[in-house]
Structure 1
Amino acid sequence: MYPPEPWHLRGQMYLSLFLVPRGKLSQLPPVLRDTVRPITVGGRVVVGAAWVSYEPGGVLHYRELLSAVLVHERGRPRVSITDIWVDSVASREGGRRLWGIPKEMAEFQLDAGTEPLVDAAATAAGGPIGSAAGGPIGSALVRLKGRLPGRFPLGFTVAQALGDAVRRTPVRGRGGLRTADAAWRADPAGPLAYLAGRRPVLSLAITDFWLVFGRTPADRARTGRPGTKGNARP
């Protein structure tokens, strides 16, 4: 089983932004292609990739690697997660069933014990589709730099295909910010091959964050959609 929506989560995130030629990326599911458009810079798509450690104090604690495309829906910014791995079955099943997030299982190394370096790596638990063996996904070495004073609000909407509809999920929270340098090493034969050999244009660490992922009862009352499959546009 998995926790009901919303999920209250705490932890650390190491985020990098890339500009990737559109032709290098897989197409979004049809229902999303009919609804959202990728945001491009100079003809390249903005892709965010992140390592996340969700820590005790939230409803679940686990590790995660994700890649997401920045899109817009009639001018409203959205985030669409295209590739994601976790090391928690509850997170995988909840992400898929509640929000249409295509989570897969992986094994992680995420070592943040030697300041200012964070060493991360992930290996797919099931390997490539159709393979019985695990396969490498990628790794990164993140060097943390300056800490920005204060804590900053976090807020965005995740848009995913859930069945034949678009599921729009609000995410809100707050966290500290640090600048960072990150060297990503995506496996050129793996599922993140579109990031192989690319340098991020920006890297940040979002530290000691808390997040509310999903609709709260107040959200559902405001939109008039009581179930978990609401399709409102926040």
Structure 2
Amino acid sequence: MHARPPAQITDAPAPWRLRGRGYISLLRFPGNSTAQDAFVPPSLAGRRSGSRTAWMMFVDYAHSDVGPYHELLFIPGSFPFEDGRRHLSISRIFVSSMDSVVNGQRNWGIPKDLARFDVRYGDDGIDEVTVRQDGELIAGLRYRSWPLPLPFSTALVPRAWRTLGQHRDGSSFIYTPSANGWIRPARLLEARSNPALFPDLAGASSPLSVAVPRFAMTFPVSTVLPLSIE
């Protein structure tokens, strides 16, 4: 049963339909880095695939089931889940809306936390994102994009590659977002973070980034299974 969230929080069960813009960056970490394992929940600790690549996304949602909000997330790699498959999993995520925090945790087990975002879009193609919590820096990012748009659709991506899993409150949440829109080439010019609040980006390189100037996305109802690992 879908329990009601606390008073004054919008109750927004899945599915969600969202529209917005953002950036997606592939990150590569050195072999001696432990940054990818920071913030992984205990039930998944030590179970990440050995890949040194990870994903980071900044998203500016102009429309969602809980209104507009900003988001910064980190995906360290894939983990085994209760459906017998490995899935990518979000280990750290900040959003600018408490409605998004509460509903994201309830609907998909996503470990959302609240933060303040300062987002500046430049006319020269350089965009800046600064994320803080209680005055402390979480991350500072600078991107550059170029006006060469191409259409995209996740319908062309195998379902297994875009299915995510989360562990939360004794349950395993498995969900497969879908999206379509436009992408264009981009570069992550600068990435700094506070390792106490976000994975340490100091040693990471970014061999690939794309800007997503416009997208529409659906977050479906999760498949929820009991945890087999405590």
Residue by residue, what CA displacement relative to the aligned partner does 1:5-44 show, whole Å, maximum 9, x if unpaired?
011011112111112246332263243359xx43444xx2
Secondary structure of 1:180's counterpart equals strand
Letter in 2 for 1:196: A
User: What displacement does 1:148 show?
Assistant: 4.1
Q: Does the alignment pair 1:167 with 2:179?
A: no
Taking the TM superposition and a 5 Å limit, the aligned residue runs for 1:60-209 are: 60-73=67-80, 76=85, 78-125=87-134, 134-153=135-154, 156-209=162-215
Percent identity, aligned pairs only?
A: 26
Query: Which residues in structure 2 correspond to 1:31-46 (within 5 Å)?
Result: 31-33=43-45, 37-41=47-51, 44=52, 46=53
Change (3 A) 1:72 1:103: closer
Q: Helix, strand or coil: the match of 1:184?
A: strand
User: Aligned runs of 1:203-222 on 2, under 5 Å?
Assistant: 203-215=209-221
- Counterpart in the other structure of 2:4: none
Aligned 8 A contact 2:44 2:79 in 1: no
Distance 2:72 2:91 in 1: 11
State whether residues 16 and 202 of structure 1, in contact with CA within 8 Å, keep that contact through their aligned partners in structure 2. yes
Name stretches of at least 5 consecutive residues in structure 1 with no aligned partner.
126-133, 216-227
Number of residue pairs matched?
206
Q: 1:2 to 1:79 in 2, by over 3 A?
A: farther
Q: Which blocks of at least 5 consecutive residues in structure 2 are unaligned?
A: 1-9
Q: TM-score, normalised by structure 1?
A: 0.77
Query: What value does the CA root-mean-square deviation take over the aligned residues?
Result: 2.6
Quote the Cα distance in structure 1 between the aligned partners of 2:153 and 2:223. 30
The question of 1:231 aligning with 2:225 is answered yes
Note the C-alpha offset of 1:146.
Answer: 4.9
The structure with more strand, counted as a fraction of residues:
1
Q: Deviations over 1:122-173 (max 9, x none)?
A: 0014xxxxxxxx3101111100025243333266112101222211011111
